[in-house]
Amino acid sequence: MIVRKAREEETSSIETVTLAAYEQYAAVKSEAHWKRYRKGILHTLSEEKKFECIVAEINGEMAGSVLFYPPNTDVYGGLLKPFPWAEIRLLAVAPSHRRKGVANALLEACEKESRELGCSYLGLHTDHSMEHAIKLYTKRGYVRFPDNDFYPVKDLHVMAFRKSV
């Protein structure tokens, strides 16, 4: 497995992997919520210069990706004030590459990047439907940080987590 910064020409592959990874949530969210969420994923991936995309490849194939936001970036479009720590979004592993350590490798790369930037923490947000992700994060030492929870829409509680790095 190779973990590295994404290349500009990989935008389409990153979008494909991210949508494939998150497609499982279409079955547990309402149709309206899933459509909003999918649209939000595509919008986030298209944001210029806000984040660095880190990818994992296995045998030359895109296995996963994650968006890494440096400290003091408006990560959530004004819904929360910028954080003094780094934040990640849209950690995605292609379904065909799950259980191969891809998510752990991507998280480790982001944690390392956070330390190199002098951050005390690396943060992220998720919701209750992402049970496997929550288990992964807590196993890696991320703890709930409810001070940064938010509701982007009335019926969606987005939970904050962060880890000392």
pLDDT tops 90 at residue 155: no
In this predicted model, what pLDDT tens digit does every residue of 19-66 receive, in sequence order?
999 999 888 888 888 898 899 999 999 987 789 999 999 999 999 999
Q: What is the pLDDT of residue 33?
A: 83
In this predicted model, what pLDDT tens digit does every residue of 82-102 receive, in sequence order?
999 999 999 999 999 999 999
Q: What is the pLDDT of residue 132?
A: 92
What range defines the domain where residue 149 resides? 2-164
Classify burial at 55, counting beta carbons within 10 Å of its beta carbon; exposed 0-12, middle 13-18, buried 19 or more. buried
Say what the pTM is.
Answer: 0.95
Question: Considering only CA atoms, which of 61, 72, 55, 73 is closest in space to residue 109?
Answer: 55
Query: Pairing state of beta strands 61-69 and 86-93?
Result: antiparallel
Confidence of residue 118 (pLDDT cuts 50, 70, 90): very high
Taking the CB of residue 146, how many other CB atoms lie within 10 A of it?
A: 8
Give the CATH number, domain containing residue 31.
3.40.630.30
Q: What is the pLDDT of residue 48?
A: 78
Q: What is the pLDDT of residue 154?
A: 81
For residues 129-137, give the mean pLDDT: 94
Q: Number of structural domains, the chain?
A: 1
Measured between alpha carbons, how far is 126 from 115 in angstroms, rounded to an integer? 22
Confidence of residue 136 (pLDDT cuts 50, 70, 90): very high
